[in-house]
Structure 1
Amino acid sequence: MLLGYLRVSTRDQSLDLQRDALERVGITKTWSDEGVSGSIAPAERPGFRALLDHARDGDEIVAWRLDRVGRNAAAVLALVEDLDARGVTLRTVSDGISTAGSTGRLVLGILAAVAEMEREVIRERVTAGVHAARERGTTIGRPSALNSDQVDLARSLRASGKSYAQIARALGVGKSTVARVLS
């Protein structure tokens, strides 16, 4: 039986492209994970876990691309070993990979390593961009809830004996904001 798997990293992304590709190759029964990172091991994702529970000897799990299954080479290779022991193969539509043969498993291992490297490169790029922005003086993160005048007022109210809750009500913010600003 052909079993389809779909995954997107964020809930605002659509599964439509993947679903259409799987339907074109005859897959009608699918499992999905929405808002789940590819860095999370496949067996730890609820949709993929349900798919694994359903899969039987002779079944083939089909995904649109290998990076939908996982971006960690070791996790993908461990999954392939587990599937192989259960008599289940893995195939990707756009990559054209199948674990049914030794060549496909070799190519899968290489592509899994490339997907993991791609994830690391993205992480490095983001870190470098944040670092460069900080060096230029750009503030990273959410804007402060209180301006400098409000912070001064919070300090004077605290010095006069007001509680965090009283200061928070006066400034229209939460107690944790007041505590963070005054610490």
Structure 2
Amino acid sequence: MRSAPAGIAVTLVVHEHKRLGRGIDLAMLAEDLRASDVGLQFLTGELQGSHDPGGVVFTVLAALSGMEREYIRDRTLEGHESARKRGKGIGGASVTDDDMLGMALHLRDQELSLREIAARLVITKGAKKGQHPSPPTVMRMLREHDERVAATKPAAVLEAAESR
């Protein structure tokens, strides 16, 4: 960062402190601003107003932002784990069903691309009813089907061999 020409005051104006960054990144930015003699002003939020980027407020802000980030991350991971334990998928409501899977398998056998398969499928329930699933959704649905088939195949082969 370059210093301002002599006699000119430079201020970095930011909508809210959360827009600057978190943790170490924010602390390094504060040091760069202080070294360049650039002021800091927040337009909204708890810290609305002008601040010295090298001051205590900025140091505390960096620490709190880092802690907030870790807290959000931990709570998100806990929520994902809780959903898995309850047998729930992560993300929104499922848009796929057995009929859609059957059609997708049929279209895959015809060697259509994921994009082509998705364009021919239609969601039949929920808020996205009437829309097409995304290619990643089709890929995930087919992959999960293939994994289920692969998981049951060895047991079926063993049972057939034992019955002979």
> TM-score category by the smaller chain?
0.5 to 0.7
Residue of structure 1 in register with 2:9 after alignment = 58
Q: 1:66-105 counterparts in 2 under 5 A?
A: 66-70=17-21, 72-92=22-42, 94-95=46-47, 98-99=51-52, 105=55
Q: Which residue of 1 aligns with 2:60?
A: 110
CA 89–163 in structure 1, closer or farther in 2 if over 3 Å, else same = same
After TM superposition, give the deviation of residue 180 of structure 1 in Å: 4.6
Deviations 1:73-132 (A, max 9, x none): 2222211222222221224574377327xxx62332122111110111011111111211
Contact 2:30 2:58 in 1 (8 A): no
Q: Secondary structure at the residue paired with 2:63?
A: helix
In the aligned structure 1, how far is the partner of 2:98 from the partner of 2:77? 29
Please show how residues 7-86 of structure 1 align to structure 2 within 5 Å. 57-63=8-14, 65-70=16-21, 72-86=22-36
Quickly say closer, same or farther: Cα 1:171–1:130, change in 2 above 3 A: same
Give TM-score, length-normalised by structure 1. 0.50
Instruction: Please report the TM-score for the alignment, with normalisation by the length of structure 2.
Output: 0.55
Matched residues, percent identical? 34
Matches of 1:107 and 1:175 in 2, distance apart? 46
In structure 2, stretches of 5+ residues that fail to align are 123-131, 144-164
The amino acid that maps onto 1:98 is H
CA distance in structure 2 between the aligned counterparts of 1:75 and 1:107, rounded to whole angstroms: 15
Question: Does 2:115 align with 1:134?
Answer: no
Query: Distance between the aligned counterparts of 1:122 and 1:175, measured in 2?
Result: 28
Any runs of at least 4 consecutive aligned residues in structure 1 with deviations exceeding 6 A, and if so which?
A: none
Instruction: Name the SS for the 1:89 alignment partner.
Output: strand
Q: Which runs of 5+ in 1 are unaligned?
A: 1-51
Aligned residues: 125
- Larger Rg computed on CA atoms: 2
8 A Cα contact 1:97 1:108, kept in partner: no
